[in-house]
Amino acid sequence: MKETIKTLITSSAISKRIDELAEQIMEDYAGKTICMVCILKGGVVFMVELAKKIKNPVLMNFMDLSSYGNGTTSSGEIKVLMDLDEPVDGMDVLIVEDILDTGRTLNYVSNLLKSRNAKSVKICTLLDKPDKIGRKQIDADYVGFSIPDEFVVGCGLDYAQKYRNLDYIGVISFEEE
């Protein structure tokens, strides 16, 4: 299959939006240390870019979960592949994720960190697919862009582990060769 990627959001639009999100986050977290929890692997590119624009003290923590295999649809079940190595009790946690799709991952992580007595838990996602069928009732506190329900790659998002390093977001399509 030939993979074709069509630009949906340009690199400069992403940078501009990240600046805006950082401004808003700095206002909301004034005087606070932000305990970022990056959802691997997709959230890592966005978290790094966002964190660099924030002047507050920022802690970087990582968690790896699985919901997708190597395809383009969610398998439904969430597994913790790698847990945090620091406690989050009493922390102002900001979960940083690449995309809010069915919402299962963020719903799961958010409840898990609340149950560990984080002082506050908010969600920051680069992309949101609000029209997803079967979408969980979960809202992100900070959203970069709302996009249609299409499979996208770039800026941390992969197809079969590829394309995470693209500096733009693109819609991938497949054709017989």
Contact footprint for ligand IMP (CB under 6 A)? 39, 42, 67-68, 74, 97-105, 151-153, 157-158
Give the strand pairing for 169-175 and 34-40.
Answer: unpaired
Helix (H, G, I), strand (E, B) or coil at 94: strand
Examine residue 170 and tell whether it contacts Mg ion (CB under 5 A).
no
102 binds, among ligand IMP, Mg ion, none (CB under 5 to 8 A by kind): ligand IMP
- State yes or no: residue 103 binds Mg ion (CB under 5 A): no
Residues that are catalytic: 101
Place of tokens 């923590």: 61
Asked if 42 is part of the footprint of Mg ion (rule: CB under 5 A), the reply reads yes
CB closer to ligand IMP, 29 vs 106: 106
Instruction: Say which DSSP state 168 is in.
Output: S
Question: Shortest Cβ distance from residue 72 to Mg ion (Å)?
Answer: 13
Are 176 and 1 in contact by the 8 Å Cβ rule? The answer is yes
Give the separation between CA 37 and CA 121, rounded to whole angstroms.
10
Q: Toward Mg ion, which CB reaches closer, 88 or 152?
A: 152
